[in-house]
Structure 1
Amino acid sequence: MQIQSASVEDYILQIPEDRQDVFRKIFETINDNLPDGFSQGLSYGMIGWAVPLETYPAGYHCTPGSPLPFMSIASQKNFIALYHMGMYAKPELLDWFVEEYPKYSKRKLDMGKSCVRFKKMDDIPLELLAELSKKMTVKEWIDIYEKNFKKK
């Protein structure tokens, strides 16, 4: 389910009402805790944070001419999804998150390679998401991206 919108606020207003408050809290938690240098915007039908082209002119190899994506949040049909490319690319960060998750939530972690799914709106581990958001700088993300993903 992709939400087509012109702004973050418009995106949030299109989310089912019972999810809007918690989605806004997730957005604010990430936005307030990411290190300087990431830009926030809409891409791929989600709200996302990326390394802007001014900082990394090479951009994203999958979509030439676009900023290098880092984190995104989306309202899907049955859950809120958090995508964090750093966890996908840096096993130590993924291990940290998996180990910490039970300390912040009584729910079982529902996760794919870079996607965390939140199905119950009453148990979103905002403190953990704040910590996760702080864990990787723009420079570290670019270095990891170039090492692991960028086509040579």
Structure 2
Amino acid sequence: MSQPINTVEEYMAQLPGDRKEDLARLRELIHQVAPNAKEIIKYKMPYYEQNGPLCAFASQKNYISLYILNTPVLQKNADLLGKLNIGKGCIRFKSIDRLPLDAIKKILKESVDANLAHYNDHC
């Protein structure tokens, strides 16, 4: 039985090389857009919060999943993602090189802004 993963560093360390590189780049992008986001392990994957849930990512068997936790923001910007495999709150891709990074940054930034607006309205 494997040990539970408690930190993002532990999560990243157990990944195969190509996935580790892709997810390190994705993690860096998240930190660029949301430098104040809290980074934790939740639901057995790296998870980010800033004035509410922001995003998460996971290495799946056949692809990488990027979960945009403000689903209306993802749906509003889905056309920017081209022919990527998109669910209600999830973007699935095989390599970060296939991601339109400017679109991902825009979606993450809008999620940060939406969380802040919601936080300010309710606090």
Residues 83-103 of structure 1, C-alpha deviation per residue, up to 9 Å, x if partnerless?
A: 1121x2x2xx3344212123x
Which residue pairs with 1:76 in the alignment?
60
Q: Report the counterpart of residue 43 of structure 2 in structure 1.
A: 44
Q: Which residue of 2 aligns with 1:105?
A: none
* Alignment gaps of 5+ in structure 1: 56-67, 103-107, 147-152
Highest CA radius of gyration, 1 or 2?
A: 1
Within 5 Å, give how 1:132-147 maps onto structure 2.
132-136=107-111, 137=113, 138-142=115-119
Aligned length: 118
Give the letter aligned to residue 53 of structure 2. Answer: P
**Maintained 8 Å contact 1:19/1:121:** no
**How big is the alpha-carbon RMSD for the aligned residues of Structure 1 and Structure 2?**
2.5
Q: Which residue of 2 aligns with 1:19?
A: 19
Bigger proportion of residues as strand: 2
SS at match of 1:9: helix
Q: Which residue of the other structure, out of 98, 110, 115, is the alignment partner of 1:123?
A: 98
> TM-score, structure 1 length as denominator?
0.65
Contact 2:68 2:74 in 1 (8 A): no
In structure 2, stretches of 5+ residues that fail to align are none
Change (3 A) 1:17 1:135: same
Report the alpha carbon displacement of residue 41 of structure 1 after superposing the two structures with TM. Answer: 1.2
Larger helix proportion of the pair = 2
